[in-house]
Structure 1
Amino acid sequence: MSTSDFVETSYCLVFSNDKLRANIDTLLDRKGWRKEWEEYQGKLYLTVTAPFDLLAEEAERVKLEKKLNTQANSMARFHFSKFTHYRGYKNKMTFFSPAEQARLIWSALEDTPYSKNDFGRGVLPKFNDQFPFCTAMKSAPAFGLEDSYPLHSPWGKRRFNSNVSFRLVNLDHAVRDYFGEEVAFYFVWMLFFAKWLLIPGVLGLALYLFRPEGVTVDNSPYIPLYSLCVPIWGVFFVKFWKRHMNAVAFEWNAHDFEEEEELRPEFWGEKRISPVTGKIEVFFPEWKRYTRYFVSFLVMLPMLGIALGAMCLSLNLNNYIRDEESPLYIGTLAVFAQPGGIFAGDSPYYGYLVPTIAHSVVISILNTVYRSIAFRSTNFENHRTVEEWEKSFIVKRVIFEAFDCYLALFYIAFYRFDVVALRNELVGLFWGDELRRVGVEVIMPLLTMMFQRKRTTRKMRAEKKASNEKPIELSQAVLDAPLEEYDSFDDYLEMVIQFGYITLFASAFPLCSIISVGFVLVETMTDSLKLLYLYRRPRSRRAGGIGVWYSVMYFMVIASILTNCFILGFSSEQLMQWMPNMFKHEGGDQQFKLGYGRYVVGMVFTLEHILILLALVIEHFIPSCPRSVTTEMARRKHLAKQWLAEHEADASQQKTVQKTEHVE
């Protein structure tokens, strides 16, 4: 088989030993895989590349759909026998995109037929022959399979860079082409988020630029209107994002894809006869898992206590806790935030920002520790499938990190009722998060990668020189080995937390939206560069959207209606701008006039109910999928059925002709 018969994308399998190397070679040789074994830092790296025919057969098996070259934008299930009917058939190497190649290679590897006899007695634990090939190898210690991931492709990177301009045009499509739909939807969401941020951004900027002379933002008569508009903007944003998400999923043909459940090899339990299939299966009772959920919760409580302690320190150093009778008051720390102190608000060197930024750094450290604890707790819960494990893991991390980020803000807003202090804390957390992301996620990984590559190059060349061999270029497997694994959770969480800053505390920092536009665009560009150069290439997966993150955003939007209404009526003087006859100034703070408190409370709760009702109306009457998409979806299904019927008719006719010729 010539080199031109193989696709450009390769997969890497990392082994800790070579005990079963010959057995693995024998199995892979049956399907014509190209293999290359390398040793690097005490581990074995197996690079596998597939011939085009193998990927084409796998594409037909998994029912991959491709665009037809006969009808515009029409797609049909791939059939290798009808190869010339699909768009791009003239170039086999580019017929499948880099993401499709990676996905098909992994699927073909997992579909490698094997039995226990291929490895000898006792190599595979009982029941592991029901798992796909690579999953079974990873669960059996004798193989020593530690990791598996697609390698970066120089051809794919060139294709990526040629499709993306500096203005981020076509970035989402380029990411999908190289990394797959799951990663691409993150960038689709980021670009959509940046566009929609312009609406509250322009409104917030107008509050600053066009306020009357001598009037602060807090005293602007328009700030109450802004604090009510942002939650409604949030409702429209999540609704129209869902419409856009469904439209993009349809455009990418990912709106109705089906994937089989991916079993976790670590799952264990009792053996029983399946009531569905009648075969032996591993079963773990639900009541045992719920017991483990409770244990996980108990393990998480100390971390929440530590987060509460960090918040206490930050609030004392920021002089937000002044009541000496408060159980949260720490006098030895509060003294540094009193007038004239190094962290006081009157400090000429902006010392009041130091505790807030330090709190942001501490939050980052706690999140790293908590991630490790959440990972082990989720493993302890013994989930059957990868999807169940990931959902449980995400829920744990979102709850903790949102608690960690917003706890101090909720304390200031709804216990201290101090909107000025709320703004100071919010500004510090916002800028601290942004600067930390640039430093930790871009600058440090870039310097680390450059250092590691130089060290690897020197080491490999020194080894070749010592063995009198001609220096060679480093393979892609060796270049990708030191890179970290990409985790989309961190990127999603950062943007969702920022979304919370904008919506939950809208009136405290109206400039947050317009500043975020620039940061989101910069984050989008840096995240694409990270994926290309600083991280291992993630596994290509299909997806029809952003998954559970949509539900997280929707929950935040509904919560923002409550928080902004409460800030409007109780935590600030905003409502007094509209109804000064109900309030009075006393002791430097606003107070309800005698007999008017009930009306203010009633008004706040009425506004909150009206906004929630409006959110329900928007959700109900605006369809989640554009009408043009539903119409086109029906048209494509009709054309695909028609094309499939013609294909089956041609195949039936061909069989009849062959049978007739055989008889003659």
Structure 2
Amino acid sequence: MNELAKMGDPNLLEMVLEEGRIASGEIDTSIQMSESMSSRDTILLIREKSMFQKHEQSKDSIFFRDGIRQIDFVLSYVDDVRKDSELKAERRKEFERNLRKSGLELEIEDKRDSEDGRTYFVKIHAPWEVLVTYAEVLGIKMPVKESDIPRNEHNALSYMLGAVKLPTRVKYPRPEYFTAQFSRHRQELFLIEDTSTFFPSSTRNRIVYYILSRCPFGMEDGKKRFGIERLLSSNTYLAAYPLHDGQYWKASEPPNPVNERYILHRNWAQFSVFYKEQPLELIRHYFGEKIGIYFAFLGFYTEMLFIAAVVGLSCFIYGLLSMHGSQSSIEICDPEIGGKLIMCPLCDVVCDFWRLNSTCLASKFSHLFDNESTVFFAIFMGVWVTLVLEFWKQRQATLEYQWDLVDFEEEQQQLQLRPEFEAMCKQRKMNTVTREMEPHMPLWSRIPWYVLSGATVTLWMTLVVACMVAVIVYRLSVFGIFASFIQSEATLEPVRRFLTPQLTTALTGSCLNFVVILILNFFYEKISAWITKMEIPRTYQEYESSLTLKMFLFQFVNYYSSCFYVAFFKGKFVGYPGEYIYLFNTWRSEECDPAGCLIELTTQLTIIMTGRQIFGNIKEAIFPLVLNWWRRRRTRTNSEKLYSRWEQDHDLESFGHLGLFYEYLETVIQFGFVTLFVASFPLAPLLALMNNIIAIRVDAWKLTTQYRRPVAAKAHSIGVWEDILQAIAVLSVATNAFIVAFTSDIIPRLVYYYAYANGTYALEGYVNNSLSVFLIADFPNDTIPVGKRDFDTCRYRDYRNPPDHPNKYLHNIQFWHVLAAKMTFIIVMEHIVFLVKFLLAWMIPDVPKDVVDRIKREKLMTVKILHEFELNKLREDLGVHPEFPKQSETESNKTEQAKRIV
């Protein structure tokens, strides 16, 4: 400061004093170029001094050069040599000037000090006055008194699960407090021991981002432009991010605060602690409530999956133990029964007649998933999914109380307008709730984008259906090839035993369908995000809800359409020999295996679900790791430089606004696999459980090691995803009922057992009874296989009259009995499950009673604390000290008057 004064440059001195401290980084290049040579020399001298101080700092320092002011946010940019470089520089200059006017303190790191020699870093610090002002604006709740309500952690269950419990200092890093919305005029009310640590780092970066997202940077086309997101999208700035506390592999050193990143990595992000509970309080404190509630939901869902996995595994073991005792498999595999049943060709011309015992192994595998336990497991999962959602409501209500989110919804609607919405709005309208004028966009201006959005979603879902039809055409086209190859005499016997034409076609078709799913997902994600932005949603919540609806509708059709086809359409519209139904008058419809279509549905579900989980985990783990390695390798050209904390985080991958959205979407799609088709695959919950155990640690590892620290955000629930889960839960009851009735072979077996077993109440003869007879002479000449035959009839799976019946080949009475039994089963099962669901939903309260009591207690204590504070403050203003027992008559009257006022 003295050097500047001696140089006789009052303009430069005045400008420095006006804009803040004299950190050399705050004086940008444009100012240097406009001043005299003597001024530039002085600034360079100061900068060299600051550079020397920088080298004395630790590379893990999260403070300004003075070692006192903590870095709350970092912006980065490079010199752009293109034609709009001057415009970008002017925008940055104006933006940073307005940031200083808003009270933020900035410190700029020159590109010469960075590792790559080309990146500037703007470090931002929010002083106390800015924090208290915006804490009041955002309605942030802060502690006023330590809570006297016990946590109720000590019970019999907690001692039984001691191995999975975290240390108390990790699980509860801070005591519980009674809280109240912060007010800068009531600072004495709050427990402020140290102003530098009173607001946690997550709250600090949330406040700074709120300012950044609303800070103007200029005018264009008569409209005010503002917000860091616009500057990022135009590459005016490269990145904007808060800093991690320190290195994830070592604890922090003084004067840095406690390294919560290291604690999280050690107790949460390592796979060696996969059996431990999650430190949700620490996650919430470090990353914010929005990320915290996602991991709370994922952990809770995984815990509930354990119950479903145990029951599903038990059903699978039952099927495994009873596989060799299955009467259907015994008859199919018996050379004297299945070996003498000649089956009709599986395709026209090229396919030959075949013997039923060639599907022996496939029938045994089918029994693993198509047995008596299937009905029980379908009903159990209908009840299980209800328990998951009802108990999650309770868990969510508990988190809302513990994380001070009970009244958050009103805050969200009032405060979190998207900057893009505010920038695009030319009109203003009074909010009927707040009675304040706010940006407004009429419906008529959005209608064209809504129409385009609906048309695009419909087009892409139609494209998915078209791709599914293409896969079906592939299956029909290659079925004859597989059938002729597998059934030929030259085929190896092991191949013929393990691979039937149906199973081979299902395997290859499922793999092809999975590849198509991945390709369509890649393109649709880009398109849906662009269309949602064009709709100009009002709030971030509306933006995510709109994008969620688009993405879920598409992925629902994309992932589940093939499973719906196999479950409810394949083998249901086949016709019979001589009168087969053809797709596009070219390809004959697919038939199910004689043991039913359930094994093919299981194959389809297993390939898509397992492939998706493996691909997703590899992508999530490998992709950011490779990108970060390449970025560090490319940028670290000057190893003698400091490679500071902000540079290290800059080289990490960005989590992005939609990072959590895709995590939710992945979990919900998995939830659909676990519930919608679980009757065909009781091991689905087990696969989902193993995947989630890995996914929790992979996600934790990504957030703590491979991604920049996300900006903290609040959320009181999982949002629209809860409604989607409810819809899937209701739909799953119907789909599983239909799978048991129409895809499984249980109902036909029960009908035969009770009505057609000649009074023996046994399944002997069921296979022969389920196969109808067709006279080979009735085959059209253009479909019958070429070759010599020593038999006159063949068999096919259906309930139709024999050739010698007056109404030959029409459905017989047993078909209608089976159909009536199937419809009766669907109605009974759905009513039973829905009745149990509604009873459970009625019996289980959304908010636990102890949480209701705690909320009431906290509200009471908060009101009491505020009342006492205001009363004491009023007494002080009136000159009445609460410690004086004796008062004059005038003072006594004033006190009584003060009490009445309060």
TM-score tier, shorter chain, comes to: 0.7 to 0.9
- Alpha-carbon distance between aligned partners in 1 of 2:306 and 2:749, rounded to the nearest angstrom: 26
1:149 lines up with 2:371 in the alignment: no
Change (3 A) 1:138 1:448: closer
Aligned match of 1:63:
139
The code of the aligned residue for 1:265 comes to: E
**Contact 1:11 1:106 (C-alpha < 8 Å) held by counterparts:** no
- Alpha-carbon distance between aligned partners in 2 of 1:301 and 1:228, rounded to the nearest angstrom: 34
1:294 lines up with 2:294 in the alignment: no
The code of the aligned residue for 1:517 comes to: L
SS of equivalent to 1:169:
coil
1:425 lines up with 2:517 in the alignment: no
Q: Which has the larger radius of gyration?
A: 2
- Alpha-carbon distance between aligned partners in 2 of 1:352 and 1:51, rounded to the nearest angstrom: 64
SS of equivalent to 2:499:
coil
Aligned match of 2:614:
435
- Alpha-carbon distance between aligned partners in 1 of 2:609 and 2:469, rounded to the nearest angstrom: 19
- Alpha-carbon distance between aligned partners in 2 of 1:420 and 1:347, rounded to the nearest angstrom: 12
Output one character per residue of 1:298-330: Cα deviation in whole Å (capped at 9) or x when no partner.
22333223322332344455x4xx4xxxxxxxx
Aligned match of 2:122:
46
How large is the RMSD of aligned CA atoms in angstroms? Answer: 3.6
1:217 lines up with 2:368 in the alignment: yes
1:646 lines up with 2:829 in the alignment: no
**Contact 1:374 1:397 (C-alpha < 8 Å) held by counterparts:** yes
Offset at residue 614 of structure 1 (A): 2.9
1:581 lines up with 2:754 in the alignment: yes
Which 5+ residue runs of structure 1 have no aligned equivalent? 323-330, 462-469, 660-664
Aligned match of 1:263:
418
Change (3 A) 1:124 1:293: closer
Offset at residue 434 of structure 1 (A): 1.5
- Alpha-carbon distance between aligned partners in 1 of 2:553 and 2:516, rounded to the nearest angstrom: 17
**Contact 1:55 1:108 (C-alpha < 8 Å) held by counterparts:** no
- Alpha-carbon distance between aligned partners in 2 of 1:475 and 1:407, rounded to the nearest angstrom: 48
Aligned match of 1:346:
499
Aligned match of 1:305:
462
- Alpha-carbon distance between aligned partners in 2 of 1:138 and 1:558, rounded to the nearest angstrom: 45
Aligned match of 1:326:
none
Aligned match of 1:171:
279
1:98 lines up with 2:201 in the alignment: yes
Offset at residue 535 of structure 1 (A): 2.5
1:195 corresponds to which of 303, 313, 337: 303
TM-score scaled to structure 1, two decimals?
Answer: 0.84
| Paired positions, count | 627
Pairing of 1:238-637 with structure 2 (within 5 A): 238-257=389-408, 258-259=411-412, 260-265=415-420, 268=424, 271=427, 283-317=440-474, 319=475, 322=476, 331=477, 333-335=478-480, 337-338=482-483, 340=485, 346=499, 353=507, 355-416=509-570, 418-458=597-637, 460-461=638-639, 471-477=641-647, 479-481=649-651, 483-486=653-656, 487-576=659-748, 578-579=750-751, 580-581=753-754, 585-587=770-772, 589=797, 591=799, 593-596=814-817, 597-637=819-859
Change (3 A) 1:212 1:103: same
SS of equivalent to 1:128:
strand
TM-score scaled to structure 2, two decimals?
Answer: 0.63
- Alpha-carbon distance between aligned partners in 1 of 2:878 and 2:677, rounded to the nearest angstrom: 72
Pairing of 1:25-44 with structure 2 (within 5 A): 25-30=96-101, 31=103, 33-37=105-109, 39=111, 44=120
- Alpha-carbon distance between aligned partners in 2 of 1:272 and 1:563, rounded to the nearest angstrom: 48
SS of equivalent to 1:363:
helix
Offset at residue 67 of structure 1 (A): 3.1
Q: After alignment, is 235-244 or 529-538 more displaced?
A: 529-538
**Greater RCO (Cα-Cα under 8 Å, separation 6 or more):** 1
Pairing of 1:75-114 with structure 2 (within 5 A): 75-77=178-180, 78-79=182-183, 89-109=192-212
Output one character per residue of 1:513-550: Cα deviation in whole Å (capped at 9) or x when no partner.
12221210110010111122223322211111110111
- Alpha-carbon distance between aligned partners in 2 of 1:75 and 1:275, rounded to the nearest angstrom: 32
**Contact 2:289 2:712 (C-alpha < 8 Å) held by counterparts:** yes
- Alpha-carbon distance between aligned partners in 1 of 2:634 and 2:238, rounded to the nearest angstrom: 23
Offset at residue 18 of structure 1 (A): 2.0
Change (3 A) 1:625 1:275: closer
- Alpha-carbon distance between aligned partners in 1 of 2:481 and 2:458, rounded to the nearest angstrom: 30
**Contact 1:423 1:509 (C-alpha < 8 Å) held by counterparts:** yes
- Alpha-carbon distance between aligned partners in 1 of 2:513 and 2:740, rounded to the nearest angstrom: 27
Aligned match of 1:228:
379
The code of the aligned residue for 1:176 comes to: R
SS of equivalent to 2:142:
strand
**Contact 1:249 1:255 (C-alpha < 8 Å) held by counterparts:** yes
Output one character per residue of 1:606-656: Cα deviation in whole Å (capped at 9) or x when no partner.
322332233233323321111111111111001011111122223333434
- Alpha-carbon distance between aligned partners in 2 of 1:452 and 1:137, rounded to the nearest angstrom: 24
SS of equivalent to 1:63:
coil
Change (3 A) 1:279 1:433: closer
- Alpha-carbon distance between aligned partners in 2 of 1:507 and 1:159, rounded to the nearest angstrom: 42
Q: After alignment, is 416-425 or 348-357 more displaced?
A: 348-357
- Alpha-carbon distance between aligned partners in 2 of 1:41 and 1:414, rounded to the nearest angstrom: 62
Aligned match of 1:464:
none
Aligned match of 1:160:
264
The code of the aligned residue for 1:158 comes to: Y
Q: After alignment, is 22-31 or 605-614 more displaced?
A: 22-31
The code of the aligned residue for 1:639 comes to: M
Q: After alignment, is 208-217 or 440-449 more displaced?
A: 208-217
**Contact 2:260 2:286 (C-alpha < 8 Å) held by counterparts:** yes
The code of the aligned residue for 1:268 comes to: M
Offset at residue 439 of structure 1 (A): 1.7
